[in-house]
Amino acid sequence: MRTLIRNFFKCGILGWCLEILFTALHSLQRRDMTLKGTTSLWMFPIYGAGCLLAPVFRLARRLSWPVRGGIYAGLILAGEAFFGRFLQKRNLCPWDYGKARWNVGRIIRLDYLPCWLITGLCMEKLLANRHR
């Protein structure tokens, strides 16, 4: 249980940091050199839920990194859809992808699949069992 809680916090912090970096880099498109990154408190438990992928990481460890990353990206998209719909029904969803070309239900973006692939591989590395 202690490991699960520790991994929850690791994934939550990693997710927050990646989101802040990602949103800060988006400001470059607007030529906003303040490079402000943003996130929401709601995102911490959503990213923290990445700790639940630890068994998948162990099962997939012998697969090539593109295959593992694709599996992780698909699972992360499913989680984003689940949590997004949950928050959207309560008018609490901190993101709205309605203006994006590749959005599904305003809550997921298929063009973010490479970002989720990288995020999944980062979480895999973060949660790697050092005593194999």
Q: What is the pLDDT of residues 5-61, one digit of tens each?
A: 999 999 999 999 999 999 999 888 889 999 999 999 999 999 999 999 999 999 999
The whole-number pLDDT of residue 131 equals: 38
C-alpha 52/C-alpha 70 separation (Å) is 17
pTM of the complete model? 0.89
Are 43 and 19 in contact, with CB atoms under 8 Å apart? yes
